[in-house]
A and B are shown apart, each in its own frame.
Chain A
Amino acid sequence: DQQVKQNSPSLSVQEGRISILNCDYTNSMFDYFLWYKKYPAEGPTFLISISSIKDKNEDGRFTVFLNKSAKHLSLHIVPSQPGDSAVYFCAASAAAGNKLTFGGGTRVLVKP
């Protein structure tokens, strides 16, 4: 039973355009959501997060949107840059222990 799903395994986008990554979850107890970026042979790197009391959080080129009623979040990257080419993981946690449940990842390729 996958509690966090990223339905698009890959995404290709032109440099300078917007990348939109989507994530759906089923557990209504999740109250904190994060996006991680991962390059090959490296550990995941934290990108941006959002608490369930908010519906939007921005950090530079990265914006995360949360729709609690739809149990859906998205990550927007504007403008996309070649260095953004990586695998992006959505993750969620419920309060106790802050244990993260990860989605399967979306591989993003930004073409120059």
Chain B
Amino acid sequence: NAGVTQTPKFRILKIGQSMTLQCAQDMNHNYMYWYRQDPGMGLKLIYYSVGAGITDKGEVPNGYNVSRSTTEDFPLRLELAAPSQTSVYFCASGEGTGYEQYFGPGTRLTVT
């Protein structure tokens, strides 16, 4: 089992550019999540999904979009990159209420 995989590991974007952060899991989890971690801070939830075709906003969704067409994949889209989106992005998956979440290794994004 690869667990939760994320690509790319690092990316530098110019202001206004767009990109998609990829996330895949092979544990057949229905629940998937995107978090961001700013320096010295805890993780904050951007978007989550409780199953294919179902997504919902988390605490900090502005500037991001998601889709969930399959159980395995949960890409995060940044449409117009801004310096405030410089952060480390973590994808996670889990079995739902009362269960832990498994995290990917993260994508470090810098917007300049």
Contacts and interface: CB of A to CB of B under 8 A. Distances in A.
Interface stretch (B12-20, B65-73, B77-85, B103-111): B103-111
B103 A49 contact: no
Interface string A30-57: 0010101000011111100101000000
Contact of B90 (A32, A43, A96): A43
Contacts of A44: 43, 90, 103
B53 interface: no
Interface size grouping (class) on chain B? 20 to 34
A43 B33 CA distance: 13
Contacts of B4: 43
Interface stretch (A12-20, A64-72, A73-81, A101-109): A101-109
B26 interface: no
A60 B40 CA distance: 29
Interface residues of A, number: 28
Contact of B97 (A42, A43, A89, A95): A95
Given A43-B4, A97-B56, A102 B102 contact: no
Interface of A: 4, 6, 9, 32, 34, 36, 41-46, 49, 51, 89, 91, 93, 95-105
30 contacts: A6-B42, A9-B40, A32-B97, A34-B100, A41-B105, A41-B106, A43-B4, A43-B90, A46-B100, A46-B101, A49-B100, A51-B98, A89-B42, A89-B43, A91-B43, A95-B97, A97-B31, A97-B56, A98-B98, A98-B99, A99-B33, A99-B58, A100-B35, A100-B45, A101-B45, A101-B59, A103-B42, A104-B40, A105-B40, A105-B42
